[in-house]
Amino acid sequence: TQLLEQSPQFLSIQEGENLTVYCNSSSVFSSLQWYRQEPGEGPVLLVTVVTGGEVKKLKRLTFQFGDARKDSSLHITAAQPGDTGLYLCAVLNNDMRFGAGTRLTVKP
Amino acid sequence: DTGVSQNPRHKITKRGQNVTFRCDPISEHNRLYWYRQTLGQGPEFLTYFQNEAQLEKSRLLSDRFSAERPKGSFSTLEIQRTEQGDSAMYLCASSLIRGVNTEAFFGQGTRLTVV
């Protein structure tokens, strides 16, 4: 069983559409991170959420941490082809564990 | 360039051969992680170091895998008697522990193909 379950696994949309991807767990976390990975590159940190119910915005990306600190969502408004990539959620205990990711394709 | 550096970028080897990968972390980072990633999946945790001490190893890390960080700086990951199932991208990351604000910086990975 994965510590972090991400959904959907794949998402293909047209430029300009909105989308939401999810990261769920049965465990409670002190913080949760979202990374984005492009082909041939390592993941790059987008945001860290810490407080239950916290909402953080990064341009057209909105991140929310669930009230119970077990889940998180990433919403993208007016997606652009440059948003294409693998979106990963991760938690840091002593090690750092990742979900399987949502592979997003935004078509022009 | 002061980012995480991994060498080689690509490695093709015959089944049964041994391979070694190197990771040079960001210099002041005390924590170093190794992950394996297959196509379409997220990074799978293999092991991590705090300075030169290896603190945790995943069950994925069989006896054929060994990692070292002898002086708390660069690290090596060796795979002995490679198998086709070892084909994957091997990612290294480093971080400076800052509580919840810890950020992992990744290298570009070493892509291993076992033929």
Residue-wise pLDDT for B38-94, tens only, equals 988 899 999 999 999 999 888 878 899 999 999 889 999 999 999 999 999 999 999
Q: Which of residues 63-82 of B touch A (CB under 8 A)?
A: none
Residues A36/A41/A43/A44 CA torsion (nearest 10 deg): -70
pLDDT digit string (tens) for chain A, length 108 residues: 678 999 999 999 999 999 999 999 999 998 999 999 998 889 999 999 999 999 999 999 999 999 999 999 999 999 999 999 999 999 987 788 999 999 999 999
For A68-98, b/e burial (b = at least 16 CB within 10 A) is ebbbbbbebeebeeebbbbbbbbbbeebbbb
What are the Cα distances from residue A60, in Å, to A19, A56, A100, B7?
11, 11, 23, 35
Inspect the interface and report whether the beta carbons of B93 and A42 lie closer than 8 Å. yes
- Residue B86 in 3-state DSSP? helix
CB contact under 8 A, B103 and A42: no
Chain A residues bordering chain B (beta-carbon distance below 8 Å)? 6, 9, 30-31, 33, 40-45, 48, 50, 86, 88, 90, 92, 94-101, 103
Distance CA A70, CA B110 (A): 33
Instruction: Locate B81 and state its tokens.
Output: 């008697």
